[in-house]
Amino acid sequence: MWIKGGKLLNDDFQFITGDLQTNGEQIEAIGSCEKAKAIDASGCYVVPGFIDTHMHGAMGKTFIDFDADTFETIAGFEAKNGTTSLVPALSAAKEEKLISSIQYLRSCAENTKKNCAAVYGIHLEGPYFSLKYKGAHLPENIRNPDVQEFERLLNAAGRYLKIITMAPELPGADSVIQKACEAGVCVSAGHTDAVFEQVKHALSLGLKQGTHLFNAMRPLSHREPGTAGALLSDETVKCELICDFVHIHPEVVKLVYKIKGRHKINLITDSEIAAGMPDGDYCVNGRVLSVRDKKTFTEDGSLAGGYSCLIDCVKNLVSVGIPLEDACMMASKNPAETAGIYHKTGSLTPGKLADILILNDKLAIKHVILRGTLIF
């Protein structure tokens, strides 16, 4: 298959004029196509498929409350909307339930379905949280870090555990951070009341990321920089951003971009059960979430996860003046690096999987190519 005449996002995440050839599931070459039969991308942008390393569900389904149709429903919806790779997040839950959901996600990762986004790993969002910043997570599912429990969760996940979000200030956190880092798991600070010095200590142990920056964490203050200040001030740390302009104001997004640059931001959706669904009430993990005007709330009116797809987040960034190539890097290369899959996907590089989006001049999705197959 050839894609002809588009503006291609190259390895350096700069747009170039050129054609792209796929062969089977992989990108074969970037060059010049003389064939008459090709996908016409004239006037369009050709970019890598997006990668969401923090999403919980969509279309009335979640991975923590899985059933027989969960994977195909969620992953099919994501693929059609331009997200070709997933590292689903599991909310805080009792150990038995977490292990069951981990085993389910392992089976999803090992049995990729046609026309579905691939699952490349697991993001444990919890259960080691500060009750003060529990967000939408039920308090009865939150507990202090327990390295023995974490080892059991790690054993259940095997090589598929990619990220754990936790509060680094809690008793027992140091042991879990060290164990996770030894296993190659990205430790991300979130749902935390950590002061600046506590985050700095966690960074010295191997903390690498901040979970949905500014949301469910100790805020930045001019007298105590807090969790957010520590994450922003360390140039080695990546930060997740929910760029739906509901969880974070556009001007704050621009400020974070100025501080962290295009290499240290991972776009995420934190999408929940109601993504892609109409307004209404939805039950997930033992509580009711209400969706009103594409916003998701708990019973007490707190924000509870996202509603958007990554393509919406990319459009939002471009709308406030962030270059498309930078927005695409935040939605592809950066999360691929965090998940340890950049050798497979995340850029338009010969030899990598042909996960490709063709966007028109309005950034609407014209075509989705998933592992070399045109699905939309």
CA dihedral in degrees (136, 141, 145, 151; nearest 10)?
-110
Assess contact for 205 and 231: CB atoms under 8 A: no
Confidence of residue 92 (pLDDT cuts 50, 70, 90): very high
What mean pLDDT is predicted for residues 288-292? 91
Assess contact for 21 and 28: CB atoms under 8 A: yes
Q: If you search the block for the tokens 């979000």, which residue do you land on?
A: 165
CATH number for the domain spanning 149: value is 3.20.20.140
> Is the pLDDT at 79 greater than 80, yes or no?
yes
Helix H or strand E segment including 365: strand 365-370
Calculate what percentage of the chain has a pLDDT beyond 90. 94
CATH number for the domain spanning 36: value is 2.30.40.10
Q: What is the C-alpha to C-alpha distance for residues 355 and 345, in angstroms, rounded to an integer?
A: 7
| 192-233 pLDDT tens trace | 999 999 999 999 999 999 999 999 999 999 999 999 999 999
Give the domain range for residue 30: 1-48+346-376
Residues 12 and 150 placed together within one structural domain of the fold: no
Average pLDDT of the chain is: 97
Residues 162 and 280 placed together within one structural domain of the fold: yes
The pLDDT, as a whole number, for residue 214 is: 98
| 45-65 pLDDT tens trace | 999 999 999 999 999 999 999
Structural domains in the chain (count): 2
> Is the pLDDT at 1 greater than 80, yes or no?
yes
Residues 103 and 7 placed together within one structural domain of the fold: no
| 293-332 pLDDT tens trace | 989 999 888 888 999 999 999 999 999 999 999 999 999 9
Calculate what percentage of the chain has a pLDDT beyond 70. 100
Assess contact for 120 and 148: CB atoms under 8 A: no
Q: What is the C-alpha to C-alpha distance for residues 350 and 145, in angstroms, rounded to an integer?
A: 42
Catalytic residue at 270?
yes
Residues 200 and 287 placed together within one structural domain of the fold: yes
Q: What is the C-alpha to C-alpha distance for residues 340 and 76, in angstroms, rounded to an integer?
A: 23
Q: What is the C-alpha to C-alpha distance for residues 206 and 117, in angstroms, rounded to an integer?
A: 30
Residues 28 and 63 placed together within one structural domain of the fold: no
Residues 175 and 259 placed together within one structural domain of the fold: yes
Give the active site residue among 270, 312, 326, 355: 270
Residues 374 and 267 placed together within one structural domain of the fold: no
Q: What is the C-alpha to C-alpha distance for residues 84 and 77, in angstroms, rounded to an integer?
A: 10
- Is 248 in a helix, a strand, or coil? coil
> Is the pLDDT at 35 greater than 80, yes or no?
no
Residues 235 and 315 placed together within one structural domain of the fold: yes
Residues 7 and 151 placed together within one structural domain of the fold: no
What mean pLDDT is predicted for residues 164-171? 98
> Is the pLDDT at 285 greater than 90, yes or no?
no
What mean pLDDT is predicted for residues 157-177? 98
> What are the backbone angles phi and psi of residue 109, rounded to the nearest 5°?
-65, -35
Task: Record the pTM.
Answer: 0.97
The pLDDT, as a whole number, for residue 43 is: 97
Q: Rg for the chain (alpha carbons), in Å?
A: 20
Confidence of residue 86 (pLDDT cuts 50, 70, 90): very high
Q: What is the C-alpha to C-alpha distance for residues 51 and 336, in angstroms, rounded to an integer?
A: 7
Residues 206 and 87 placed together within one structural domain of the fold: yes
What mean pLDDT is predicted for residues 356-366? 98
What mean pLDDT is predicted for residues 63-89? 97
Residues 3 and 71 placed together within one structural domain of the fold: no
DSSP state of 23: E
- Is 30 in a helix, a strand, or coil? strand
Assess contact for 246 and 319: CB atoms under 8 A: no
> Is the pLDDT at 106 greater than 80, yes or no?
yes
Residues 339 and 350 placed together within one structural domain of the fold: no
